[in-house]
Amino acid sequence: MKTTIKIFIVTIFIFSLSSCSSLSYADGVKCHDIGNEIHTVLNDQKEYAEFENTGINNALDLSDEYDDFYAVYSTDTNDIDEIAIFHAKSKEDAEEILEACQEYIDDMQENSRAFISSYAPNELPKLDEARVRRFGNYIVYTVLDAQTANSAFEAIKEALKQ
């Protein structure tokens, strides 16, 4: 009897864990709307400029895997903040964008460290904390300090809540 109860409890626990990890996100939210929500939550008063479509395509080696994007960088030359949100056309495209974003972050961490440390050494923790996350068909990368990135990801979860 005790064995049956233990098996039952373990089974319920496993199913509850699997249901937590399969979160569902809205799929029709415009990336600019998500970006605006992030900036509202962060309330950081920073000035950001948008990446041009060709610039982001070249930086990430993407062409037509996404149908919407929002990508900005700080206009302060001593600040390396970046936020980018892509909406993939399909799950397969989402995987490609995720990989491209991770490669971009890895490349930046490996090849830009010396340059950044020469003009803004206090920004290196942001480089180390750069992250890529997937929310359904939305792929997001941030180059922000850890606390700000966490707030940004929470804002994204809220914006994409179904």
Distance separating alpha carbons of residues 154 and 18, to the nearest angstrom: 21
- What are the structural domain ranges in the chain? 26-159
59 versus 34: which is more confidently predicted?
34
Q: Is the pLDDT of residue 62 over 90?
A: no
Contact by Cβ (8 Å): 102, 132:
yes
User: What are the structure tokens assigned to 3, written together?
Assistant: 């064995």
Average pLDDT rounded to a whole number, residues 81-85? 96
What is the distance of C-alpha 11 from the center of its chain?
A: 33
Distances (CA, A) of 39 to 32, 44, 142, 153: 10, 7, 13, 12
Q: Is the pLDDT of residue 80 over 60?
A: yes
What is the distance of C-alpha 83 from the center of its chain?
A: 7
Instruction: Give the predicted TM-score (pTM) of the model.
Output: 0.83
Q: Is the pLDDT of residue 49 over 70?
A: yes
Question: For the stretch 66-77, what's the b/e string if a residue is b when 16 or more beta carbons lie within 10 angstroms of its beta carbon?
Answer: bebbbbbbbeee
Confidence of residue 1 (pLDDT cuts 50, 70, 90): low
Write down the residue that tokens 């098996």 correspond to.
7
Q: Is the pLDDT of residue 126 over 60?
A: yes
Write down the residue that tokens 């089974």 correspond to.
11
The burial class, CB within 10 Å (0-12 / 13-18 / 19+), for 9 is: exposed
User: What are the structure tokens assigned to 31, written together?
Assistant: 């990336």
